[in-house]
Each structure stands twice: as structure tokens, then as C-alpha cells.
């Protein structure tokens, strides 16, 4: 019983308040895709604590060819806006690439800010 209570307290303590807005254009995103996006994008909060919001835009580029999934993520923080856009075969691949790119941007921003 004590183990469960401690675990619940630990989970509550680590919950973040980041708002993730997902907008899909030319298609309806599945719950599975939205859950994947929320899981990946929420990890960006570890890179920079001031992140309160992330706007994710998914778009199917016409005509239907390979590399027709466009993903963009915008993260506003006080005094700065981070933006990344990728075109890939799948939305999951695009999200992974965008998140990786944003981690680099956020790390550079954090280092630059701490050197002042």
C-alpha cells in the first residue's frame, strides 16, 4: 500500500503543464497519432522549463506521393519563438525529426542564455 501512494505522489510531482495544440490539415488525425505527438513533444519540456505551449501542425501535401507528410512545430517562449518544419514519408518520422531539431535549438538557446 505504501509503495502505491509513494508512486502516485511521484507521478503527480513530475506532471508538467505544457499545452500541446495539434492541428491537422486535409485529414483527421487518429487518437494513436495524437498520443504519439503528445508523448514526443512533451519531452521538450526537459530541454527548457519555460515551455508552456507547443503548436503542432500536420498537413498532407497534395498530390499523394512519397514524402507528402508535412509536420511543423512552433514553441513560443518569452522573447523567442522556435519553429521547425519537416517533410517525410510518415507523420511519426516527421515528429521525431522536428523534436530532435528543436532539442538542438533549445539547448543552444539555453547555453547562450546562461553565458550572459
Q: What per-residue confidence (pLDDT) applies to 11?
A: 41
pLDDT single digits (tens) 34-64: 999 999 999 999 888 889 999 999 999 887 7
Task: Give the global pTM.
Answer: 0.81
Distance of CA 39 to the CA centre of its chain: 8
Q: Which CATH superfamily is domain 17-114 in?
A: Ribosome hibernation promotion factor-like (3.30.160.100)
- At 21, phi and psi to the nearest 5? -100, 125
Q: Assess contact for 61 and 68: CB atoms under 8 A.
A: yes
Question: In sequence order, what are the residues at sequence separation of 6 or more whose Cβ sits closer than 8 angstroms to the Cβ of residue 23?
Answer: 55, 56, 57, 58
Please compute Rg for the chain using Cα positions. 16
pLDDT value of residue 16: 53
How much is the pLDDT for 74?
97
Name residues of the chain where pLDDT drops below 50: 1-15
Cβ neighbourhood burial of 92 (10 Å; 0-12, 13-18, 19+): middle
Query: What are the domain boundaries of the chain?
Result: 17-114
Q: Which pLDDT score, from 0 to 100, does residue 114 have?
A: 82
Amino acid at each position: 500500500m505504501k509503495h502505491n501512494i509513494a508512486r502516485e505522489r511521484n507521478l503527480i510531482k513530475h506532471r508538467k503543464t505544457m499545452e500541446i495544440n495539434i492541428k491537422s490539415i486535409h485529414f483527421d488525425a487518429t487518437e494513436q497519432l495524437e498520443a504519439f505527438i503528445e508523448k514526443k513533444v512533451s519531452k521538450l519540456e526537459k530541454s527548457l522549463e519555460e515551455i508552456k505551449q507547443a503548436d503542432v501542425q500536420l498537413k498532407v501535401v497534395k498530390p499523394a506521393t512519397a514524402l507528402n507528410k508535412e509536420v511543423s512545430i512552433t514553441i513560443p517562449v518569452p522573447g523567442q519563438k522556435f519553429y521547425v518544419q519537416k517533410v517525410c514519408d510518415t507523420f511519426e518520422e516527421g515528429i521525431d525529426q522536428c523534436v530532435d531539431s528543436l532539442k538542438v535549438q533549445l539547448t543552444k538557446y539555453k547555453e547562450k542564455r546562461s553565458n550572459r
